[in-house]
Amino acid sequence: MTTGPLDGVIVADFTRVLAGPYCTMLLGDMGAEVIKVERPGAGDDTRAWGPPYAPSGQSTYFASVNRNKNAVGIDLGTPGGVQAARDLIAGADIVIENFKVGTMERLGLDYANVSTDHPALIYCTISGFGSGAGRELPGYDLLVQAMGGLMSITGPGPGEPTKVGVALVDVITGLHATVGILAALHHRDATGQGQRIEVNLLSSLLSALVNQSSAYAGAGVVPGILGNAHPSIAPYEVYATADRPLIIAVGNDRQFASLAQALGAPGLADDVRYRTNPDRVANREDLKQELLALLALASADEWQERLTRAGVPCGPINDIAQAFALAERLGLAPIVDAGGTPTVAHPIGFGRTPATYRLPPPASP
């Protein structure tokens, strides 16, 4: 019986904290056998990142990215530990590491060394700023959010740059690493050749900034902070109602006409200031004031029902518990049991080879 689309693939996981462990957990969910290398007696840094802790005493941060793995304690500071790591790599299909740039070379565990006897090996390196001139810069998500421009477009307004509420750059980088590894597996199946993959947080963020980074690359525009507004679409932000905030996300002129009709002000769609999306963006503040005056006449729940019925994208601002409740109501089964530990479900649905939850996050080796 297979355990997923990656059944039979062995991963030697030399990663810690978030980007690398998230990648290897996704591979494990898809059936790969993941062997997580940790420092004896100390383990992954995130084992100590808490509170909160699960009833077992395990950090929920660690648990969030480490199910479907077996942990082994290897002291890479000793010759015996290096040999144990070399033996582990010799039996693996994939190696993933996010040590400080140069560490694996110093240990003789880098791709150039280990691929000589293992040419089919796929070897993924994750760093903060690449292996060139940025090799000495520490790869912490908060630093990359700041230095990579994300904070410059995030926050309540100009002069108030704000980090995202989760280590999003790490997560995006872990996803990019996963995509690269799966592509390399396909190439290896076709040619028998392995390869080295490099992923870094800064490049991942610049790619993930999509329209904002493209504004600079393609038009020389340096985006700024717009709070909850969108630089290229309106109305597309948070609006106060009679009782609490409501998100309205109008993506085209047809939806705006439906919004105007549902608000009881169909003339807004014919106003020369708001007729097209570029018009609405240019007159964003005037439009916002008109919408706020109308939205103040009813509650957020009332407006959500009316607008949704009219085909206008909208919704409340949920907390995390409410978000899980929504997913439950929609039948998405957001929480799964991984060997007795509740964890967040794998996000990809496979018609033939679904994700499996075979192992809980491992105890410290």
Catalytic positions:
170
Q: Are 353 and 9 in contact (CB under 8 A)?
A: no
Q: Are 63 and 355 in contact (CB under 8 A)?
A: no
Side-chain-side CA neighbours of 320 within 13 Å: the count stands at 4
CA dist 286 → 22, 145, 167, 255, 352 (Å): 44, 32, 35, 19, 52
Cα 194 to Cα 177: distance, rounded to the nearest angstrom: 15
In the chain, the DSSP E strands lie at 10-14, 33-38, 69-73, 94-97, 122-127, 195-200, 236-239, 246-249, 314-315, 335-338, 341-344
What are the two backbone dihedrals, phi and then psi, of residue 67, each rounded to the nearest 5 degrees?
-75, 170
Cα 273 to Cα 270: distance, rounded to the nearest angstrom: 8
Q: Are 247 and 316 in contact (CB under 8 A)?
A: yes
Length of the chain: 365
Buried b (16+ CB within 10 A) or exposed e, 19-44: bbbbbbbbbbbbbbbbbbbbbeeebb
Q: Are 11 and 93 in contact (CB under 8 A)?
A: yes
Cα 189 to Cα 343: distance, rounded to the nearest angstrom: 32
What is the CB neighbour count within 10 angstroms for residue 218? 9
- Supply angle C-alpha 173, 32, 1, rounded to 5: 145
